Amino acid sequence: MTLLEVNGISKVYKARRRVNAYQLFAVRDMSFTVEKGVCVGLVGESGCGKSTLARLITGLESPSAGEIRLEGKPVHGRQGWASEGAAFHQKVQMIFQDSLDAVNPRHSALTIIAEPLVNFSPMSKREIAKRVEELLSQVGLRPSDAEKFPHEFSGGQLQRICIARALASNPELLVLDEPLSSLDVSVQAQILNLLQDLKDRLHLTYILISHDPEAVYYLSDTVVVMYGGRVMERIDRIEDFDRMRHPYTRRLLSSTSLYRNWQEAGTLETEAIAIDMEVQKEGYEGCPYAGRCGKVDERCKSACPPLRNIGNGHHAACYRL
């Protein structure tokens, strides 16, 4: 069953460099669907539009074009979830990169986790305390942790508190925006395990955003690779991950430890990648990766290749594939 549909979504921001104002596509013509119970991994370098997409999906911002539907109903606009307020936020929750920023330092863990319960459900104080205890145990913390304040937790523990808060309203979809990047490597593995365990136990659907393909690989069923606001490549079955062939994906993978020993690693470039903002400006119609791609030809600079099916649930936006 399809839970979320992203149809031709674009988000344009007004930007300014010195006296020149211009329009910048943070996300451009993106489409994909998310089936219930799966994890879609969204991966790409800094500035490629991941957080913008997360804010669009969670209703924090409205798209400039296109439509997002949750359970068939539009997320934005008067006819959709926006008119139902709390019901949407009960179903869709977001987890942010920096857990310390995401909580009020003056609130106890109990108050933080209970926030959605107070907002969304008519529960007594006793029922709320019981539910918070249950949520704390679900994320691997102790009941006594309810009385502690944010500064008394480690980064990993605080991320667990944020996960508990997100779970409080029994959501369908969790949008996780770089949930691991502020954590130590060993703690990252623990949080990944917790997320996997919760997904299985509570039948959750995830959109997991990361700049690290390794983290995404571990948890995801489907992987979407973004660059310059566009989808470069998508693989629907994680077992086929090795088949990812877009020149940008190959370069991205070459910089991660998972693929350091990859068969073809010797032939991959490892130079750091930074997005050239020109390719996200309104008026640029070519492939955003054209300026850095070793396989570029004239076509790539004038028209962005469409994302097309190249077989077995594998989609790529490249004229060469």
The residues that touch ligand ATP, with contacts defined as CB under 6 A, are: 13, 15, 24, 26, 46-52, 211
268 binds, among Mg ion, ligand ATP, none (CB under 5 to 8 A by kind): none
E-strand stretches of the chain:
2-17, 20-35, 39-43, 65-70, 73-74, 92-95, 173-177, 205-210, 222-227, 230-235, 308-309, 314-316
Residues 45-64 that bind Mg ion (CB under 5 A): 51
CA–CA distance, 274 with 230 (Å, rounded to integer):
15
Is the Cβ of residue 211 or residue 251 nearer to ligand ATP in the bound state? 211
Burial class (CB within 10 angstroms; exposed 0-12, middle 13-18, buried 19+) of 198: buried
Is the Cβ of residue 26 or residue 141 nearer to ligand ATP in the bound state? 26
Is the Cβ of residue 46 or residue 144 nearer to ligand ATP in the bound state? 46
Is the Cβ of residue 51 or residue 280 nearer to Mg ion in the bound state? 51
Shortest Å, Cβ 144 to Mg ion: 34
Shortest Å, Cβ 13 to ligand ATP: 3
Shortest Å, Cβ 284 to ligand ATP: 13
Is the Cβ of residue 16 or residue 201 nearer to ligand ATP in the bound state? 16
Residue tagged 């977001």 (tokens): 94
292 binds, among Mg ion, ligand ATP, none (CB under 5 to 8 A by kind): none
| Cβ 113 vs Cβ 161: under 8 Å | yes
| Cβ 215 vs Cβ 221: under 8 Å | no
Contacts of 39 (CB under 8 A, 6+ apart): 199, 205, 206, 207, 208, 219, 220, 221, 222
26 binds, among Mg ion, ligand ATP, none (CB under 5 to 8 A by kind): ligand ATP
Note the residues at the interface with Mg ion (CB under 5 A). Answer: 51
